[in-house]
């Protein structure tokens, strides 16, 4: 594992990785294709580089082996979301996603005409509503040091991307943070401290490029009470952000999408109106072996976002659609055991 201590090491690591990766060099030397700047139809593919490294092969519907990103693009995907961990392990499914790997994948995706979102977890592994653990290197830091950590980590990764010609369109400051991040200091039990941490991520992002839009992201996108509580508190504590990001997983809510899709649409509309913000579904997923239900859920989710008035509904991103179950153990991908995408992803086609 390559641990990034400063920007010089990060760029040196990047040069090593790209020089050893002929596929990435091919993307660097190619002429960029046109970028689709319309409705966001996205895929979070944080597992992709690991899948490829372990020899996993991807096939289109006709059975032809292809680059996974090309297969996704052929389904209408125009945006790639990538998570960043600080000093991750080499674990196949719960590691990798360090800064250098993220830069390589972002460059590769951009050269294929994809828009880029960077998702900062501010952890060495998964951060979500049940766990928001500090990176090991930050565990003993004072609060003022944590503020500097968030700023420097965010800034350094974005500068590394900018050095190779990638400026993300969006940056997430934290991942699914209804309880805050960087516990305990950044817990929602300590809103003034959480607000300062979030604002450091915002400030670092805007210092790199003011046009990058900053997202604050919660789970249970159908839960209006949760979202009002969090974003009312954020407003009271002067949190700076541009977009409200939502996850929507009927599987984890333990209800069919037909029972909650109206609540999702109402919450999207309420967030846009109440806080005068754009909104986006930054994570969605359905059961890979219930293809029609997942297709219908995804189609309904896209429609709900498009129904937000004044074009404030920006798009929908499927989480790890290529993360096929036999490789990942994850049951909410949109990929079959034959290495092909399921028809669920056809919901992204115009």
Domains recognised in the chain with CATH numbers: 7-348 (3.20.20.80)
From 176, 185, 220, 278, the catalytic residue: 176
Write down the pLDDT at residue 33: 63
Query: Which of 137-155 are b and which e, b meaning 16 or more Cβ less than 10 Å from the residue's Cβ?
Result: ebeebeeeebbebbbebbb
8 A C-beta contact, residue 315 and residue 304:
no
Write down the pLDDT at residue 15: 46
Residue 65 known to be catalytic: no
Residue 283 known to be catalytic: yes
CA separation for the pair 204, 248 (Å, rounded): 28
Q: What is the mean pLDDT of each run of 10 residues along the chain (350 residues)?
A: 40 42 42 74 97 96 97 97 96 92 98 98 97 98 98 98 98 98 98 98 98 98 98 98 98 97 98 98 98 98 98 98 97 97 94
Parallel, antiparallel, or unpaired for β 40-44 and 170-173? unpaired
Write down the pLDDT at residue 219: 98
8 A C-beta contact, residue 216 and residue 173:
yes
CA separation for the pair 185, 117 (Å, rounded): 26
User: What global pTM score does this model have?
Assistant: 0.91
From 101, 265, 278, 283, the catalytic residue: 283
Name, in order, each residue with C-beta under 8 angstroms of 54's C-beta and a sequence gap of 6 or more. Answer: 92, 327
Parallel, antiparallel, or unpaired for β 79-84 and 278-284? unpaired
């Amino acid at each position: 594992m390559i641990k990034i201590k400063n920007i010089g090491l990060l760029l040196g690591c990047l040069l090593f990785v790209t020089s050893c990766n002929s596929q990435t060099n091919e993307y660097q030397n190619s002429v960029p294709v046109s970028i689709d700047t319309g409705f966001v139809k996205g895929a979070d593919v944080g597992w992709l580089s690991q899948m490829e490294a372990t020899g996993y092969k991807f096939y289109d519907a006709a059975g032809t082996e292809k680059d996974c990103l090309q297969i996704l693009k052929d389904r209408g995907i125009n945006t790639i979301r990538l998570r960043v961990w600080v000093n991750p392990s080499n674990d196949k499914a719960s590691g990798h996603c360090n800064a250098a790997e993220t830069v390589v994948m972002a460059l590769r995706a951009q050269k294929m005409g994809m828009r880029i979102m960077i998702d900062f977890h501010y952890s060495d592994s998964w951060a979500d509503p049940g766990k928001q653990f500090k990176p090991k290197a930050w565990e003993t830091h004072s609060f003022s040091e944590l503020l500097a950590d968030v700023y420097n980590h965010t800034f350094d990764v974005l500068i590394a991307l900018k050095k190779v010609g990638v400026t993300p369109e969006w940056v997430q400051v934290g991942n699914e943070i209804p309880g805050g991040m960087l516990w305990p200091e950044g817990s929602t039990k300590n809103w003034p401290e959480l607000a300062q941490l979030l604002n450091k991520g915002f400030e670092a992002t805007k210092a790199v490029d003011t046009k990058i839009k900053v997202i604050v992201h919660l789970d249970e996108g159908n839960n209006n009470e949760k979202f009002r509580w969090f974003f009312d508190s954020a407003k009271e504590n002067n949190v700076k952000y541009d977009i409200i990001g939502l996850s929507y997983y009927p599987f984890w809510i333990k209800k069919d999408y037909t029972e909650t899709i109206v609540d999702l649409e109402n919450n999207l509309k309420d967030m846009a109106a109440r806080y005068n913000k754009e909104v986006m579904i930054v994570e969605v997923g359905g059961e890979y072996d219930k293809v029609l239900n997942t297709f219908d859920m995804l189609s309904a989710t896209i429609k709900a976002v498009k129904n937000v008035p004044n074009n404030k509904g920006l798009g929908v991103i499927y989480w790890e659609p290529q993360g096929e179950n036999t490789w990942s153990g994850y049951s909410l991908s949109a990929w079959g055991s034959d290495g092909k995408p399921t028809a669920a992803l056809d919901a992204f086609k115009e």
